[in-house]
Structure 1
Amino acid sequence: MEAPESPTSSSAPVLLNIGGRKYATTVETLTQREPDSMLAAMFSGRHTLPRHPTTGAVFVDRDGKHFRHVLNWLRDGSIPALSDSDYQQLLKEAEYYQLLGLDDYINEKLASKKADDSADAELTRKDVIKCIQAQKIRFRGLNLSGLDLSKLDLSEVDFSYACIERTNFSCANLHKAKFKLVEAARSLFEQANLHECEFTGANLQEAVLDRANVQSANLQDACLTGCSCIETDLRSSHLQSANLTGSDLSGANLEGANLKGAKLPGANLQGANLQRAYLREVDLRETDLTGAKLGGANLLGAIR
């Protein structure tokens, strides 16, 4: 069988084999949008291209996975939203085929995504430090998500209603700080001083409070599901109606804490100190109390 002839017009179909993947397009698509590219040069008619003897397909030794995006770019001038890793791989193909427009497009997308990722917080760590130094210490309702505020003196600062998800407060001094109704999921408070803080109604889901000082803090109605409170000092803390489902309180000191109506199903309280704690009407189903100290605890009406 004779090999198919080379296309004689810009609208004639062209068969491509890119690393084993088959594509069909036209000379017009390959040459119009990026006229200075390697693909445009290949199909300009100035070069003789080796073709498969039966199919007539032109073989290019590249990964064919992302070539569909190359063709979409050449056809429409756009590509769908991709993950960062896919953008990086497509960028390599754009560089190989010398598609300068696609190269610029991808770099703009990556820069935009980076800007979006860093634009979550309304302030930077430096901004926060300046506010502290100027004694402007109210951050009510602000978005401070993802900031590193570790080791700062933030005592008595008002964060009420703020969004502080994934914020790092490790080793910070937050004595008497206010966190009423904050969104603080997955934030870090490891070894922080939270003595007498207010967390009423706060969302602390999957937050880390390991070895923090949370003495006499008000966590009433707070969501602490999946929290890590390993060896946390919670003496005399107020946890009425708090949701501690699945939290890790192993080795925590809850002496004299008020947990009336709290939910603790599936929580880990191994070795915890619950002496003289107020546990009336607490849900303790599937809670691990191995080695826990319960001397003087009030368990009237607790569900076990």
Structure 2
Amino acid sequence: MESPPPEPSSSSPVLLNIGGKRYATTVETLTQREPSSMLAAMFSGRHTLPRHPDTGMVFVDRDGKHFRHVLNWLRDGAVPAMSESEYQQLLREAEYYQLLGLADCINDRLGWRNEESLSEAELTRKDVIKCIQAPRVRFRGVNLSGLDLSKLDLSEVDFSYACIKNANFSSAYLRKAKFRRTEATCSSFQSANLHECELIGANLEGSVLDKANLQSANLQDACLKQCCFIETDLRSAHLQGADLMGANLSGANLEGANLKGAKLAGTNFECANLQRAYLREVDLRETHLTGAKLGGANLLGAIR
């Protein structure tokens, strides 16, 4: 029986390949200053990390250019003078690695005051990042209106009954997140991963979901008026009873989607893929179907 590998000591060298750039540091550097960070968790000894068989390097698919600033922060708490755009890029890396101290420092440099500019929200982006480090995250009934939560990993988070009006979830990872009866008008989910999300009864009127992944998502009875779903993946989505009046689904993929009882007046399906979609007894008279693919769709009793 093989014995488990020895836990790394604090002075153990670590070789990193960050987006093609190579770095050398120690376990102590990666774990001491911000012990609640992703990096500290990775090199705590609790996880077996895949390493290159020849070099022993650990590969991380992130921006290698800015990682030197991450290391300098972890070593001595230093943040260099940078342009605003560079600070914003570094802030993305700090948030990805869950380095909250570094994120605070950058925000101070930029003079941002999330609490003041987003006075309606009960929490800030920083608060959300802290919360998502814990298992079974819930924001049920919380007001997160106006927050920028783009590019965060919010998979399986429960936003049911929350108010997230005008929030930015662009490119966020929201697989299996719950938005039951959530108030989310005029929010952005552009390019977000909402695979298998629950949005039953949610109000997303006027929201942007272009190029989002909503495959197998449940949007039953949701208000989707005037929403943009351009080139969105809605394969096998549940849209029974949803209000799609005036929504733009041009180029969207609705293969196998269920639209039973959906309200479709003024809905744009131009060049959309509706193959094998369930459109039985749906009123299609005021929809735009130019170039739409309807092969194998169930149109029994549909009004056209």
Q: Percent identity at matched positions?
A: 75
2:288 aligned partner, one-letter code? D
Partners of 2:125 and 2:185 in 1: CA distance: 19
Unaligned 5+ runs, structure 2: 1-113
Give 1:264-303 correspondences, 5 Å limit.
Answer: 264-303=264-303
Structure 2 vs 1, CA of residues 115 and 154 (structure 1 numbering), >3 Å: closer, same or farther?
A: closer
Matches within 5 A, 1:77-88: none
Counterpart residue number, 2:245: 245
CA distance in 1, matches of 2:281, 2:212: 26
Deviation at 1:137, TM superposition (A): 1.1
Pairing 1:141-220 to 2, within 5 Å after superposition: 141-220=141-220
Asked whether the equivalents of residues 263 and 284 of structure 1 are also in contact (C-alpha less than 8 Å), the reply is no
Could you give the per-residue CA deviations for residues 27-55 of structure 1, whole angstroms, max 9, x where no partner exists? xxxxxxxxxxxxxxxxxxxxxxxxxxxxx
Aligned to 2:130: 130
Equivalent in the alignment of 1:227: 227
1-side partners of 2:284 and 2:215: how far apart? 22
Q: What TM-score results when the alignment is normalised by the length of structure 2?
A: 0.61
The answer to whether the 8 Å contact 2:187/2:207 transfers is yes
- State the Cα RMSD in Å: 1.4
> SS at the partner of 2:252?
coil
Once the two structures are superposed, what CA deviation does each residue of 1:141-183 show, in whole Å capped at 9, x if it has no partner?
Answer: 0000000000000000000000001100000000000000000
In structure 2, C-alpha distance between the alignment counterparts of 1:273 and 1:115, rounded to whole Å: 43
**1:216–1:237 CA contact under 8 A, matched in 2:** yes
Q: Label 1:216 to 1:115 Cα distance change in 2 as closer, same or farther (>3 A).
A: closer
How far the C-alpha of 1:119 sits from its partner, in A, is 1.4
Structure 1: segments with no counterpart, 5+ residues: 1-113
Q: Which residue of 2 aligns with 1:61?
A: none
Q: Tell whether the 8 Å contact from 2:136 to 2:156 is kept in structure 1 after alignment.
A: no
Q: Do the aligned partners of 2:176 and 2:197 also contact (CA within 8 Å) in 1? A: yes
User: Amino acid of the residue matched to residue 277 of structure 2?
Assistant: A
**1:224 and 1:243 in contact (8 A); partners too:** yes
Cα distance, 1:254 vs structure 2: 0.1
| Whole-angstrom distance in 2 between the partners of 1:119 and 1:136 | 26
SS of match in other structure, 2:231: coil
Aligned-partner residue type, residue 158 of structure 2 = D
Q: Distance in 1 between matches of 2:289 and 2:203?
A: 25
Cα separation, 2, equivalents of 1:200 and 1:176:
13
The CA deviation at 1:136 is 5.7
Normalised TM-score (structure 1): 0.61
Deviations 1:116-144 (A, max 9, x none): 86311100000000001133610000000
Opposite residue 118 of structure 2, the aligned amino acid is S
CA distance in 2, matches of 1:177, 1:255: 22
